[in-house]
Structure 1
Amino acid sequence: MLNIAVLVSGGGTNLQALINAQDRGEIPDGRITLVVSSNPGAYALQRAEKANIPTTVLRRRTFARQEDYDTALLQVLDQNHTSLIILAGFMTIISEQVIRAYRNRIINIHPSLIPSFCGEGFYGLHVHEAALARGVKVTGATVHFVNEICDGGPIILQKAVAVQSGDTPEILQRRVMEQAEWKLLPKAAALFCAGRLHVTNGVVTIDEEAEA
């Protein structure tokens, strides 16, 4: 059973999707054992507490240097014996030091079909605003490993979502969450914890033979 740490900053809808999937037995080889928030007022903390998951708050602004914050974060993760880190709306920079320590063990969900509408500045509603402004007919979500390039890590899973006439960024955001994000993130966590994900030359393959 692998320990999963989920890093959050806001409402925690993706965290809730993970908790719900865990409760349904859909992540049999892993367990969420820690939620780390960059925001003491994040509603995600209440979600974690309701699910009896230990929480901690680490605010970047309380540390003089990025290195000090990195050390504190790594210490918390190490104390939790963390095997997998999931970024679920985490708005604090993940440094190279942390990425190196958890190479191919940090996954993130992005609300577009990477490589479209991704990279610096593309987060939250900005992604959906850009998709609608471009007039795309299909968008979606991507789960990927985190590396030193913003949204540039190896892609694990993707799911397409249709853009509909009359969509606003808010409506599209909700549909992408419901139809893609909340399904992909628990699935990726389950695959990782089952040892079914392999990264070779920046490309992820899924071991189907390991499926029970």
Structure 2
Amino acid sequence: MLRVVVMVSGGGTNLQAILDAVDNGKITNAEVAAVISNNEGVYAIERAKKHGVPAFVVTPKAYETRDAFDEALLETVKACKPDLIVLAGFLVKIPAAMIEAYRNKIINIHPSLIPSFCGVGYYGLKVHEAALARGVKVTGATVHYVDEGTDTGPILFQKAVEVQPDDTPKTLQQRVMEQAEWVLLPQAIDAIANGRI
């Protein structure tokens, strides 16, 4: 049984997609062992609690230095004993020591077709604003391994989503989540849990 630790910063819609996929058998041989957030009071924590999944908050505000926060985050992750770490809207740069400790065991979902609209500064609505400003007709989402760069690790899965003429950043974000993110993340976890990756 693959122990999955999901790391979140906000509402936890991708977390919910993972929990639902475990419940309905779309993800097999895996369990969500813990949820870690860098923000207190986010709805993702409630989602975890409702599902009986232990949830931990490690916020940078509680530490005097970035190094102290990074160390606390890594210790919290280690205590959860993950086989796989899933960054599901986790908006904190992962410490190098954590990438080293869990090489090829951390995956991220990014709301574009990498290499488009990715890297430093591209997160949340900013990705969709950039896609619309550029006038692309197709966008999507990418699941990739996490390495030392920002959105530079090997790509595992991608799914395209059509851009509609009347899209706003918010409507596009919602469609990308529904049609791509919530599909790809469970697919990737299931593939890893069952040895297909």
Identity %: 56
Partners of 1:74 and 1:117 lie apart in 2 by: 28
Aligned position for 2:41: 41
Which protein, 1 or 2, shows the higher relative CO under an 8 Å CA cutoff with sep ≥ 6? Answer: 2
Aligned position for 2:71: 71
Aligned position for 2:115: 115
1:191 aligns with 2:191: yes
Map 1:147-158 to 2 at 5 A: 147-158=147-158
1:65 Cα shift? Answer: 2.8
Aligned position for 2:59: 59
**Which aligned segments of 4 or more residues in structure 1 are displaced greater than 4 angstroms?**
none
Aligned position for 1:165: 165
Q: Is the 8 A contact 1:7 1:85 kept in 2?
A: yes
1:72 Cα shift? Answer: 1.9
Aligned position for 2:141: 141
Instruction: Kindly provide the amino acid, as one letter, of the partner of residue 88 in structure 2.
Output: A
Aligned position for 2:88: 88
Provide Cα deviations, 1:41-69, integer angstroms capped at 9, x if missing partner.
11000001001100111001212233322
Give unmatched runs, 5+ long, in structure 2: none
Provide Cα deviations, 1:162-202, integer angstroms capped at 9, x if missing partner.
011111111000000000000000110111112221xxxxx
RMSD value over aligned CA atoms? 1.0
Q: How many residues are matched? A: 197
Provide Cα deviations, 1:23-42, integer angstroms capped at 9, x if missing partner.
01122111001000111111
Aligned position for 1:20: 20
Give unmatched runs, 5+ long, in structure 1: 198-212
Partners of 2:93 and 2:147 lie apart in 1 by: 12
1:82 counterpart SS class: coil
1:70 Cα shift? Answer: 2.6
Q: Is the 8 A contact 1:60 1:92 kept in 2?
A: no
1:31 counterpart SS class: strand
Partners of 2:77 and 2:26 lie apart in 1 by: 23
Aligned position for 1:208: none
